């Protein structure tokens, strides 16, 4: 029986290789692909984005609550069940509400000429978030970069200051330290060059006042307007730099600022929250497919993350329409939709509802999935889970993602010589979208959006995500409808929709295909790591890292295959298929290790050797585990200063499972950093890993067995 199962695996694997080169995916039939291509609409998603862009919807703002109300209403219209807004706290460190909404704000030059410089009726980003009420006139003083060094010889007391700096820096140094009464700043979003984006408004925030200090305000101008203001202050001749039609003498400007905000309990909506809706499954009630996007961002935010929010509203409509029309049955697993306050909502919910994560099968996350890619040459990043959470989900993701990449880009081999349609063989186009190619690539994990919460070691839910990068428009006034492409919305939504569709109905009979694809993907990963191992050996006769990367890679691939058992359940044949592939991993590991030994001997004319140090042996004696309470765990968790990459620090926590020692965790994280390279993940040392774990044992987030 076991031999028969193994033979089945090899046949399936061979079939997958053929399928890969035929521009398809083994996880959907051609009819299912056509069905989803026909139904998923980027144009409909765009219409939701059109509504959301009008509100400045940062955490705790009236605009955020209006956005939640809109999404909840549309979720119900699109057929979701049990739609509700889940209210969550939004407090400062003292437990006081820090909700904030700006009602009005204007900034004027009143002398030597009259000119309106800013009005948040034009755009909310003209006022820095967390500004406070003001109604003042004052002289304007130029303070350059707003550093304390620059401010040493400038009298700013009672003045409004102009700075080419982040307004937060100017507020801290000029207002709270030196007695200025307000700030006008100009800078760019995400540290971009001002010459490239002279008219862009960045999304900014200023700090709350220290104890005993009065709150202040900051206006944020575009680089062009801010630098023109500087020129007026720094010239003594007559000018008309602002083109008002009247020449006046430079060197002195008086401005008026009027700001009206609601802060804390003045704001009618306290707290924050998220919207939840369901398509209920018929069979498995503890294997939820959680589909997420986040509502919280600045005014505009069409791509970040209006795109994800509009797309998952559209997915809700598509699935319910197909069910209603009888084209698909109700799903076997729950589809759970979350529109969240980015990252904080998921943490808050899972801390407040401990154990809820055990009902979650996977997380599929969309963030910035509508980028018009010809604008700024933006690339859609398809983000794998971190190696601590590698599972069958990564293989499913890669297969469907590559299907869209191959069928929505142009290849001379196919289009000119194989009679496939030009320019794209199975195009996904929106009615009002572009016909551009799908510029996408799979990338190693980076934790920059809501998916990072699910992969936490305390929760352990496999998650994949889509985010475009580099993006010239993120967190600025330029992230608006004109830089969104309905076609890219549709393509990215197809990928997430196809994964959700497959997982909604997957059963034990689907295990052979899923296991074969997972094994094939793992083989590609190990082949890449073998290349890294050879590079390591070429540089040094110390072979420990070369062996480490292969051994840890094999352990990872076994974890990925074993993750399929949740779908295999008690089915004997399905579990035997998984066992067969696990044996193949063992065989492959042994072969790769022998190849490393052979190469090492050939290269250095001596056998490879490694021995544990005293520090290694001490680290092997300590086995940490997470304390039971999620609330207490996250309250006590600490990240001491180390030289490690932020993502690798997260992976230290993610590998804590109550079975692995400090030394095991170090080996897993170091292998991950070596696998992806210093460029992505920096360098991992045992000293830093021990420092992180010891600090958290001391804080009480972890305990030792």
State what percent of residues in the chain have pLDDT above 70.
Answer: 97
Burial-class residue 153 by CB neighbours within 10 Å (0-12, 13-18, 19+).
exposed
CA distance 606 to 609: 9
Extents of the domains making up the chain: 40-85+276-506, 105-266, 611-705
Helix (H, G, I), strand (E, B) or coil at 217: coil
What are the strands, taking DSSP E only, across 33-191? 81-88, 100-111, 115-119, 134-142, 160-163, 182-186
Q: What are phi and psi of 523, to 5 degrees?
A: -65, -40
Computed over every residue of the chain, the mean pLDDT equals: 94
Confidence of residue 418 (pLDDT cuts 50, 70, 90): confident
Q: Do 164 and 233 form a contact (C-beta atoms < 8 A)? A: no
Helix (H, G, I), strand (E, B) or coil at 525: helix
Residue keyed to tokens 């040094």: 540
Q: What is the pLDDT of residue 20?
A: 46
111 pLDDT above the threshold of 60? yes
SS (H, E, C) 337-381: EEEECCCHHHHHHHHHCCCHHHHEEEEEEECCCCECCCCCCCEEE
Q: Do 161 and 183 form a contact (C-beta atoms < 8 A)? A: yes
Confidence of residue 605 (pLDDT cuts 50, 70, 90): confident
Question: What is the radius of gyration, based on Cα positions, of the chain?
Answer: 28
Q: What is the pLDDT of residue 608?
A: 81
Q: What is the pLDDT of residue 124?
A: 98
Q: What token pair was written down for 243?
A: 């083109």
Q: Do 208 and 264 form a contact (C-beta atoms < 8 A)? A: no
Confidence of residue 8 (pLDDT cuts 50, 70, 90): low
Which CATH architecture best describes the domain 105-266? 3-Layer(bba) Sandwich (3.50)
Is the domain 40-85+276-506 a CATH 3.40.50.720 member?
no
Does an H or E element contain 259, and which? Answer: strand 254-263
What are the strands, taking DSSP E only, across 33-127? 81-88, 100-111, 115-119
Q: What is the pLDDT of residue 14?
A: 52
Confidence of residue 609 (pLDDT cuts 50, 70, 90): confident
Q: What is the DSSP string of 272-327?
A: EEEEEEEE--SSEEEEEEEEEEE--B-S--IIIIIIHHHHHHHHHHHHHHHHHTTS
Q: Do 519 and 13 form a contact (C-beta atoms < 8 A)? A: yes
Burial-class residue 46 by CB neighbours within 10 Å (0-12, 13-18, 19+).
buried
What pTM was estimated for this model as a whole? 0.94
Q: What token pair was written down for 661?
A: 């020692």
Q: What is the largest CA-CA distance in the chain?
A: 94
Peptide bond into 423 cis (omega under 30): yes
473 pLDDT above the threshold of 60? yes
Contacts of 139 (CB under 8 A, 6+ apart): 159, 160, 252, 253, 254, 255
Q: What token pair was written down for 306?
A: 């209006």
CA distance 228 to 250: 11
CA distance 343 to 453: 7
CA distance 697 to 427: 54
56-108 pLDDT tens trace = 999 999 999 999 999 999 999 999 999 999 999 998 877 888 899 999 999 99
Q: What is the pLDDT of residue 1?
A: 39
Q: What is the pLDDT of residue 4?
A: 45
CA distance 556 to 576: 19
């Amino acid at each position: 029986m076991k031999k028969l199962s193994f033979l089945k695996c090899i046949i399936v694997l061979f079939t997958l290789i053929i399928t890969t080169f035929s521009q398809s995916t083994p996880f959907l039939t051609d009819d299912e692909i056509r069905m989803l291509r026909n139904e998923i609409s980027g144009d409909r998603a765009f219409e939701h984005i059109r509504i959301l862009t009008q509100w400045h919807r940062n955490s705790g703002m009236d605009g955020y609550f209006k956005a939640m109300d809109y999404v909840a209403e549309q979720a119900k219209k699109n057929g979701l069940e049990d739609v509700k807004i889940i209210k969550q706290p939004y407090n400062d460190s003292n437990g006081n509400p820090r909700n904030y909404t700006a009602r009005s704000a204007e900034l004027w030059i009143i002398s030597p000429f009259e000119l309106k410089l800013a009005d948040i009726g034009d755009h909310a980003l003209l006022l820095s978030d967390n500004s406070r009420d003001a109604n003042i006139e004052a002289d304007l003083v130029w303070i350059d970069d707003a550093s304390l060094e620059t401010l040493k010889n400038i009298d700013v007391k009672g003045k409004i200051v102009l700075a080419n700096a982040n307004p937060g820096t100017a507020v801290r140094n000029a207002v709270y330290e030196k007695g200025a009464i307000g700030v006008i700043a100009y800078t760019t979003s995400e540290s971009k060059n001002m010459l490239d984006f002279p008219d862009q408004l960045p999304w900014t925030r200023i700090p709350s006042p220290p104890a005993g200090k009065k709150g202040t305000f900051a206006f944020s101008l575009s680089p062009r307007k801010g630098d023109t203001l500087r020129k007026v202050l720094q010239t003594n001749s007559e000018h008309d730099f602002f083109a008002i039609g009247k020449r006046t003498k430079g060197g002195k400007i008086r401005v008026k600022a009027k700001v009206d905000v609601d802060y804390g309990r003045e704001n009618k909506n306290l707290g924050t929250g998220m919207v939840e809706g369901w398509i209920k499954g018929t069979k498995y009630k503890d294997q939820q497919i959680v589909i997420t996007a986040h509502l919280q961002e600045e005014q505009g935010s069409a791509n970040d993350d209006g795109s994800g929010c509009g797309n998952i509203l559209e997915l809700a409509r598509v699935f319910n329409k197909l069910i209603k029309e009888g084209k698909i049955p109700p799903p076997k697993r729950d589809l759970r939709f979350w529109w969240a306050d980015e990252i904080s909502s998921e943490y808050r919910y899972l801390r407040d509802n401990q154990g809820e994560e055990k009902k979650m099968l996977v997380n599929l996350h969309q963030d910035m999935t509508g980028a018009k890619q010809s604008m700024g040459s933006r690339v859609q990043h398809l983000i794998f889970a971190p190696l601590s959470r590698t599972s069958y989900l990564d293989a499913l993701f890669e297969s469907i993602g590559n299907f869209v990449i191959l069928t929505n880009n142009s290849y001379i081999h196919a289009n000119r010589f194989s009679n496939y349609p030009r320019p794209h063989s199975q195009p996904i186009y929106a009615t009002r979208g572009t016909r551009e190619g799908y510029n996408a690539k799979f990338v190693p994990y980076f934790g920059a959006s809501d998916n990072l919460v699910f992969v936490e070691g305390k929760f352990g839910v496999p998650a994949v995500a889509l985010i475009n990068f580099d993006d010239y428009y993120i967190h600025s006034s330029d992230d608006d409808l004109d830089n969104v492409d309905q076609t890219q919305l549709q393509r990215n939504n197809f990928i997430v929709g196809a994964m959700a569709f497959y997982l909604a109905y997957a059963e034990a009979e689907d295990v052979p295909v899923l296991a074969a694809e997972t094994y094939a993907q793992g083989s590609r990963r190990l082949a890449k790591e073998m290349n890294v191992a050879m590079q390591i050996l070429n540089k040094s006769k110390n072979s420990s890292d070369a062996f480490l990367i292969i051994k840890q890679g094999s352990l990872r691939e076994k974890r990925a295959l074993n993750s399929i058992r949740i779908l295999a359940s008690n089915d004997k044949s399905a579990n035997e298929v998984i066992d067969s592939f696990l044996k193949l991993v063992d065989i492959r590991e042994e072969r790769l290790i022998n190849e490393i030994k052979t190469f090492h001997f050939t290269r250095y004319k001596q056998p490879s050797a490694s021995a544990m140090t005293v520090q290694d042996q001490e680290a092997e004696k300590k086995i940490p585990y997470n304390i039971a309470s999620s609330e207490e765990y996250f309250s006590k968790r600490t990240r001491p200063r180390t030289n490690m990459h932020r993502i690798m620090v997260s992976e230290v926590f993610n590998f804590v499972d109550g079975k692995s020692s400090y030394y095991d965790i170090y080996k897993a994280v170091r292998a991950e950093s070596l696998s992806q390279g210093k460029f992505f993940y920096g360098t991992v040392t045992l000293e830093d890993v021990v420092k992180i774990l010891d600090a958290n044992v001391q804080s009480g987030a972890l305990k030792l067995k």
